[in-house]
C-alpha cells in the first residue's frame, strides 16, 4: 500500500481528473438507455453507482475539498442525465411515412452502397405537412440528383424511420445518422436545386474543386483530407492496410498543428488567444465538423480558456471534459465509430504521458498503446486491424506532422492561381510518394492482421483501465482493483450481448 506523506496533498480522482467520472457516468447512462433499454431512473442509478464506485475506490486519503467537489459533480451528473434523456427521448420517434415538402441546405452528399444520400439542414419557414419543422432539423434525403455542398434544394417525399441493426456488430443506420444530428430519412419523390447558400458547406465545395483541379494527385488527396476531411478512396485503402487511417481523419494531430503554427505566427499579438480560438473553430467547421475534429477543438479551447484565466489543467482531464460536453451536446455521438476511436486514443495517450516513467519509454510504447486503443473498436467495425500499424505509426505521426504543414504551404501558390504554382507542390508530391513506398514495404514485410476477438477487447480494456486509474491518481494496488472490477463489468456486457 502506498504511504501518504504528511504535508503533501494526496492524489485522488476528484483532485486529478474529476471529469473522468463524469464521462463514465454519461457513457453508462447512454449505453443503458439506448442499448439495454433501461428506464431513466435505472440508467441514472447505474451510472451514479459506477462513477461513485470509481471515485471511492481511487480515494485512499480523502482531501478536505472532496465533499464540495463530489456534490458539484453529482449535481452536474443529474442535470446532464436530464439533458441527455430529453435528447434521447426526442430522438426516438415513430412515423407512418408522413409526407413532407420543404427546402434546405445540402451539408454533405455521398454514396452509401447503391444509394445517394444527402444530409440536409431544413429551413423552418419552408416546411409544410403534418409535421412541424423546428429550427436546425436535419434530414437524410435518398435521391438520384446531382447535388453539391451548399446547394439550396426544394424537395418532396415521405418521412421514414432509420433502419435498426438486426444484431450487434452490424451497420445500424439509426445510430449512424443520429450521431450526425439527423432526425429521419426522406424518400424523395421530387427534388430541385433553387440556389445556393454561401456558408461553410459552399466554401468546402469551392475549395475542394480548386484542390482537385490545381494540385498534383497525391498532394491534392492529402490536402483535401487535411483541410476538408475528404478521403480519396485509393488513399484511404492504402492507409487502412497500413493501420494509419487516423492520418486522414481531421483530429488532434491536425487541429494541434494548426494551433501550433498559429501560436508561432501570432506570438507577438496581444490578443492571440482570441484569434486562436477563432482559427481552430473555423478549421473544425471547414473540415466538416467531424466528431474527432470537434473533440480536438474543444480540448484546445479549454487550454486557451485556462491560459486566459491564468490556470492550467491536466490534458487527461481536459480530454474527459471535451468528451462530456460532446455527449451533452449530442448523446448519439457515443455510437459514432470515429468519436469512440478518437476519445479512446487521446485518453490512452494522455494517460500514458501522465505516468511516472521516462520520456524514452513513453515514446517507445506510445505507438503500441495507440494501436491497442484504436484496434478494439476498429477490429469490431472493419473486421481486422493490420499488425504493420505497430511499426508504421512510429514514423507516421512525426513524418506527417512535418510534411502536412509543409505541403499546405507549398500548395498556396497553385491555389492562388499563380503561373507554375503547381510545380511548387512537387517536392511534397515526391515525399508523399516516398511515404507510400515505405508504407507498402512495411505491410509487405508484416502482412499479418489481428481479427476481432474477445481476448483482444478484454486485454485492451484491462490495460486502458489501469492507465486511466493511474492518471486519475489511483495508488498502484487500487488501480489493480479497478482493473479487476472493469473485467467483471466487461464480462457482464459480453454475456448481455452488448458486444
Radius of gyration for the alpha carbons in the chain, expressed in angstroms and rounded? 24
Residue 360: per-residue pLDDT: 77
Residues 443, 467, single domain; the answer is no
Residue 22 resides in a domain: yes
Question: Quick check: 289 pLDDT over 50?
Answer: yes
Quick one: average pLDDT of 325-336?
90
Residues 445, 458, single domain; the answer is no
Give the number of domains in the chain. 3
Residues 338, 401, single domain; the answer is yes
List the alpha helices (DSSP H) in 136-271: 173-178, 200-214, 217-228, 233-242, 252-265
Residues 412, 264, single domain; the answer is yes
Q: Which of 153, 181, 197 is the last residue of a domain?
A: 197
User: Residues 458-461: contacts with CB within 8 Å, 24+ apart?
Assistant: 458/487, 458/490, 459/372, 460/372, 460/373, 460/375, 460/376, 461/376, 461/486, 461/487, 461/490
Partners of residue 5 on adjacent β-strands: none
DSSP 3-state assignment of 313?
coil
Q: What are phi and psi of 163, to 5 degrees?
A: -80, 140
Residues 59, 142, single domain; the answer is no
Q: Give the tens place of pLDDT for each residue, 107-161.
A: 888 887 778 888 998 876 555 544 455 556 889 998 888 888 888 999 988 888 8
Q: What are phi and psi of 363, to 5 degrees?
A: -65, -40
Contact 142, 187 (CB under 8 A): yes
Residues 107, 157, single domain; the answer is yes
Whole-structure pTM value: 0.83
Residue 153 belongs to domain with CATH number: 2.40.50
Residue 6 resides in a domain: no
Residues 440, 459, single domain; the answer is no
Joined grid coordinates for residue 276: 486562436
- With vertex at residue 40, the alpha carbon angle to CA 35 and CA 44, rounded to the nearest 5 degrees, is 90
Residues 108, 133, single domain; the answer is yes
Residues 113, 58, single domain; the answer is no
Residue 311: per-residue pLDDT: 58
pLDDT band at 93 (very low <50, low <70, confident <90, very high): low
Residues 193, 301, single domain; the answer is no
d(CA 242, CA 349) in angstroms, rounded, equals 20
Residues 309, 373, single domain; the answer is yes
Q: Which of 164, 197, 230 is the last residue of a domain?
A: 197
Residue 4 resides in a domain: no
Q: Which of 168, 197, 226 is the last residue of a domain?
A: 197
Q: Which residues of 428-451 are buried (b: 16+ CB within 10 A; e: fewer)?
A: bbebbeebeeebeebbeebeebbe
Which domain, by its residues, includes 77? 13-92+454-496
Residue 347 resides in a domain: yes
Residues 376, 425, single domain; the answer is yes
Amino acid at each position: 500500500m502506498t504511504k501518504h506523506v504528511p504535508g503533501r496533498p494526496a492524489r485522488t480522482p476528484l483532485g486529478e481528473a474529476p471529469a473522468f467520472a463524469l464521462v463514465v457516468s454519461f457513457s453508462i447512462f447512454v449505453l443503458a438507455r439506448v442499448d439495454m433499454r433501461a428506464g431513466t431512473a435505472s440508467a441514472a442509478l447505474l451510472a451514479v453507482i459506477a462513477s461513485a464506485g470509481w471515485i471511492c475506490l481511487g480515494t485512499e486519503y480523502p482531501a478536505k475539498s472532496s465533499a464540495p467537489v463530489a456534490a458539484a459533480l453529482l449535481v452536474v451528473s443529474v442535470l446532464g442525465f436530464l439533458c441527455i434523456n430529453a435528447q434521447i427521448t426526442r430522438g426516438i420517434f415513430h412515423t407512418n411515412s408522413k409526407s413532407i415538402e420543404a427546402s434546405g441546405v445540402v451539408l454533405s452528399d455521398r454514396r452509401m452502397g447503391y444509394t445517394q444520400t444527402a444530409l440536409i439542414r431544413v429551413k423552418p419557414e419552408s416546411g409544410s405537412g403534418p409535421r412541424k419543422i423546428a429550427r436546425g432539423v436535419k434530414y437524410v434525403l435518398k435521391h438520384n440528383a446531382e447535388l453539391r455542398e451548399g446547394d439550396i434544394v426544394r424537395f418532396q417525399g415521405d418521412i421514414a424511420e432509420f433502419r435498426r441493426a438486426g444484431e450487434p456488430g452490424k451497420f445500424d443506420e439509426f445510430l449512424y445518422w443520429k450521431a450526425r444530428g439527423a432526425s429521419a430519412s426522406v424518400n424523395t419523390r421530387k427534388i430541385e436545386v433553387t440556389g445556393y447558400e454561401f456558408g461553410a458547406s459552399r466554401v468546402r465545395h469551392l475549395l475542394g474543386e480548386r484542390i482537385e483541379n490545381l494540385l498534383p494527385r497525391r498532394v491534392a488527396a492529402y490536402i483535401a483530407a487535411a483541410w476538408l476531411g475528404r478521403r480519396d478512396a485509393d488513399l484511404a485503402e492504402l492507409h487502412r492496410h497500413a493501420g494509419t487511417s487516423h492520418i486522414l481523419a481531421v483530429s488532434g494531430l491536425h487541429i494541434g498543428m494548426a494551433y501550433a503554427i498559429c501560436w508561432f505566427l501570432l506570438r507577438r499579438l496581444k490578443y492571440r488567444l482570441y484569434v486562436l480560438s477563432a482559427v481552430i473553430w473555423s478549421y473544425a467547421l471547414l473540415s466538416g465538423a467531424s466528431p474527432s475534429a470537434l473533440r480536438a477543438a474543444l480540448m484546445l479551447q479549454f487550454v486557451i480558456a485556462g491560459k486566459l484565466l491564468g490556470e492550467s489543467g491536466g490534458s487527461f482531464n481536459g480530454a474527459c471534459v471535451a468528451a462530456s460536453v460532446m455527449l451533452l451536446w449530442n448523446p448519439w455521438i457515443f455510437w459514432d465509430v470515429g468519436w469512440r476511436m478518437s476519445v479512446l486514443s487521446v485518453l490512452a495517450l494522455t494517460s500514458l504521458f501522465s505516468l511516472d516513467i521516462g520520456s524514452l519509454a513513453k515514446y517507445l510504447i506510445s505507438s503500441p498503446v495507440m494501436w491497442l486503443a484504436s484496434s478494439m473498436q476498429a477490429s469490431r467495425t472493419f473486421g481486422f486491424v493490420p499488425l504493420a500499424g505497430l511499426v508504421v505509426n512510429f514514423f507516421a505521426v512525426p513524418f506527417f506532422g512535418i510534411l502536412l504543414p509543409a505541403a499546405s504551404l507549398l500548395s498556396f501558390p497553385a491555389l492562388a492561381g499563380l503561373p507554375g504554382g503547381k510545380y511548387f507542390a512537387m517536392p511534397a508530391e515526391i515525399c508523399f510518394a516516398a511515404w507510400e513506398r515505405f508504407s507498402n514495404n512495411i505491410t509487405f514485410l508484416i502482412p499479418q492482421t489481428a481479427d476481432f476477438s474477445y481476448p483482444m477487447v478484454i486485454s485492451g480494456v484491462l490495460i486502458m483501465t489501469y492507465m486511466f486509474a493511474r492518471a486519475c491518481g489511483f495508488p498502484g494496488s487500487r488501480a489493480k482493483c479497478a482493473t479487476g472490477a472493469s473485467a467483471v463489468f466487461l464480462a457482464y456486457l459480453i454475456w448481455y450481448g452488448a458486444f
